[in-house]
Structure 1
Amino acid sequence: MTINRRAVPAGANIGSWRAADGWPLRTFAWDGGGRGSLLFLGGRGDVFEKYYEAFDHWHRAGWGIESFDWRGQGGSGRLSDDPLVGHASDFAPWIEDLAAFYTQWAARTPGPHVIVSHSMGGHLTLRALAERRIAPDAAVLVAPMLGLRSAPFGPRLGAKIAWLMTKLGRPERQAWKSNERPGVPMKKRQSLLTHDVARYEDELWWKREKPEIAVGPPSWAWVAEAYRSTLALQAPGRLESVAAPILLLAADHDRLVDPAAIGQAAARLPDAKLRVWGAESAHEILREADPVRDAALAEIDAFLDARAPAR
């Protein structure tokens, strides 16, 4: 079924939610048909507009859909003076926001309660699970940021370099000039994300329509914290403590997150299933060309039917 990916779905609402410290987060809400409640969490620099097509798929299955932009990006303000830098000096406030939003969301919506998250959102979801801050019936991590692509340095040397860069200048300055990773010109950005040109152009359209939601490269502080947080999550016992059933989707040719780290996490999690694509998929699996995207959605549907059945 074809939908208008450049329009807010009929019946959905764009609103605002205030965190415990008063910070306003931009939210999306679309009441469902009784299947349960699904919370979608995007990645670094993401906005929920990019996922309206996936939301429509789940909504037609009966799920109520909610989402929010992480503080510091999208429509949820900024954490530095430069609105185009994706800055964060600590991921802990994001965990606090997720835990507080999840608690309120789970209390006011029908179960089962599931989380689907992408990239950085997948990392934050798994970290919140390991810290016992959330307790969904099931979780789906799509290309989760469980390790960064850091060749030729490797994660530990990459972490040291990023930390050093925060000491050699303003930590909130952009880590590189453009794009999601250094060394790739903007004209090649699509190849990092998806093979589907039309879906890629949808993102550019939304950012032209709403320039205030656009975010560019991360800050050096974000890079340093991303290394620190992903390495900390690999500590012995942390992943083994996660009880929720988890589906992990990964792409072997992902050039932003480390698919090997995803596979290693899947092997350590007590209740996990892993599905991996090859060269046919880039980082944004849910916004890939139809063969990959449709297979991913079918995998998610089957997993949720088995592990978070309708009540």
Structure 2
Amino acid sequence: MELVSFPGNPAPPGGVASTVVTADGIRLRAAVWRPPGARRGTVCLLQGRAEAIEKYYEVIGELLGRGFAVATLDWRGQGGSERRLPDPAKGHVDDFAEYDRDLEAFMRQAALPDCPPPFYALAHSTGGLVALRAATRTRLVFDRLVTTGPLLGLGAVYPSTALVRRLATLGVLFGLGDRGLGALRPGRRAAPGFEGNPLTGDRARYDRTLALMQAAPQLFVGAPTVGWLQAATAAMRAAERPDFAAALKVPVLVVAAGEDRIVSNRAIERFGRTLRIGRAVILPGAQHEILMERDRIRALFWAAFDAFVPGEAGAGQPARASSAAS
């Protein structure tokens, strides 16, 4: 599927979309941008659940402006990638190992052949957990990994992670894994309003996402299935083990949102304390989608990113944000 662009959300010039096929035969949409002039390497941009490449055009432009090539993909079951269930509005996987296969196929077929090294990852939420899983293995190693609001525990909009895990596991055992949890079918119901939303405090960027959903509803899915929640909570539980953080083979910067209600900052803080080659910081006042937040919050994020990812002259320091762990 080609990239969708419209005046309120223009695609950065030069993007090339392609199809990646995973080891289990799932067709994924990927895209690559290459900056003009000097190149400092490649940032692999890994989105969260229920998102699409188009949502990150602004971020892609900012990375290109820093001299990075950008490679990105839509995870299976969302965006322009193949759906796992007949109902395209349901976001579903049976196991996070499926996302591991997505990332491996993307790296081998899109990023590594077409983009300059070194390779860095910028991963959000679900993408953050997938990237952290990859960074514990030797076959997919980024030089550095930055993750915003990684899915290490469920936030206040959910019951406790342990309770969700038990209920989802029972649901799968009773054959309800494909059941959607009140999935919002994009374009079929009114989208929620800005006030009180748990994603961002920036109205313009929130409205831009709504406009994208209206312009290209086929890219978006609703709430996860019971099976997706069971797979996610199992992956979170695996990441809680002390040997998980100890196995990370690259430096990691975790950036958490101080007002996050989607993922658990307590889980992120616990994880940050176990990091041997990395750190976690919290951005006060930010909601879950840090990269879609207000300009002052995004400026703090980019200062931390520029200081962590090598090569940016005169970058700010992450000390401007409050430290959750060192």
Whether TM-score is above 0.5 comes out as: yes
Measure the CA separation in 2 of the matches of 1:75 and 1:125: 20
* Correspondence for 2:294 among 289, 296, 303: 289
- The partner residue of 1:86 within 83, 91, 95 is 91
Task: Report % sequence identity.
Answer: 33
Q: What displacement does 1:160 show? A: 0.5
- TM (normalized to structure 2)? 0.85
Contact 1:28 1:68 in 2 (8 A): yes
Relative distance call for 1:152 and 1:107 in structure 2 (3 A) is closer
Query: Out of 174, 195, 200, which is 1:194 matched to?
Result: 200
Aligned pairs, how many?
Answer: 299
Please give the residue correspondences for 1:1-311 in structure 2 after superposition, counting only pairs within 5 Å. Answer: 6-32=9-35, 33-104=38-109, 105-149=111-155, 153-168=159-174, 170-178=176-184, 186-187=192-193, 191-278=197-284, 280-305=285-310
Which has the higher relative contact order, 1 or 2, with Cα contacts under 8 A spaced 6 or more apart?
Answer: 1
Name the CA shift for 1:150/1:285 in 2 (closer, same or farther; >3 Å): closer
**Greater alpha carbon shift after TM alignment, 90-99 vs 5-14:** 5-14
Tell whether the 8 Å contact from 1:243 to 1:270 is kept in structure 2 after alignment.
no
Secondary structure (helix, strand or coil) at the match of 1:193 reads: coil
CA distances 1:237-290 after superposition (whole Å, capped 9, x unpaired): 121111201111001221110111111111112111222022x21100010010
Q: Identify the range of structure 1 (230-239 vs 12-21) with the bigger mean alpha-carbon deviation.
A: 12-21
Amino acid at match of 1:12: G
Unaligned runs of 5+ in 1: 180-184
> Is the 1:248–1:274 Cα contact (8 Å) retained in structure 2?
yes
Q: Using the alignment, how far apart are the partners of 1:203 and 1:151 within structure 2?
A: 20
- 1:215-240 CA deviation, whole Å, 9 max, x = no partner? 11100110111111100111231211
Task: Flag as ranges the 4+ runs of structure 1 deviating above 4 A.
Answer: 150-153
Q: Per-residue CA shift, 1:123-158, capped at 9, x if unaligned?
A: 000011123341110000111101112688532232
Contact 2:33 2:70 in 1 (8 A): yes
Q: Is the 8 A contact 2:89 2:184 kept in 1?
A: no
Given residue 130 of structure 2, which amino acid in structure 1 is its aligned partner? L
- Rounded Cα–Cα distance in structure 2 between residues aligned with 1:207 and 1:194: 16
Per mean C-alpha deviation after superposition, the further-off stretch among 185-194 and 236-245 is: 185-194
Q: Secondary structure in 1 aligned to 2:243?
A: coil
Could you say what secondary structure the match of 2:151 adopts? coil
Contact 2:194 2:203 (C-alpha < 8 Å) held by counterparts: no
Residue-by-residue CA offset, 1:160-202 (whole Å, 9 max, x unaligned):
11212234453111123549xxxxx933686211011111111
